[in-house]
Amino acid sequence: MKPSHAARVAKNGRLVATGETYISPRLDYLVNGKYDGVIMKVTVKRGTRDGLLRMGRRHESIGALNKLGYLSPSGPGWNRRCAQFNDENEVINIGLGQGDARDCFNNNLIEWEVVRP
């Protein structure tokens, strides 16, 4: 994330709405991957992933279809309507977007720390 977005998380404990805003269950995937910017490790309340899954749709890639075929495809405008589950190199990342999914995440955020500034 951008440094200014990380500063806002530190200030008010909420993720900023951006175009997609993805989270990953694997910190090593983010730190060792192609991602630029600040990487934060977060802790959320138990059941947060299940809440996101209830509003979840899957990315339209073949990998997501093979692993997440039980979810409907997300389609255009997903980032305002749902959480998007996506298979990226064997890691299921979750797009929070700008709507209810981001709100669900923010309402369940317990703590955070900067791992890579």
pLDDT in tens, 1-20: 999 999 999 999 999 988 87
The tally of domains found in the chain comes to: 1
**Per the domain annotation, does 2 fall within a domain?**
no
**pTM score over 0.95:** no
| Inside any domain, residue 68 | yes
d(C-alpha 76, C-alpha 84), whole Å: 11
Residue 82 forms part of a structural domain:
yes
Q: Which domain holds residue 99?
A: 18-37+45-110
In a domain, 56, yes or no: yes
Residue 84 has pLDDT above 90, yes or no: yes
Residue 8 lies in a domain: no
Does any domain span residue 115?
A: no
The CB-side HSE value for 63 (13 A sphere, CA atoms) comes to 9
Instruction: With respect to residue 12, please indicate whether it lies within any of the assigned structural domains.
Output: no
**Strand pairing category for 91-95 and 83-88:** antiparallel
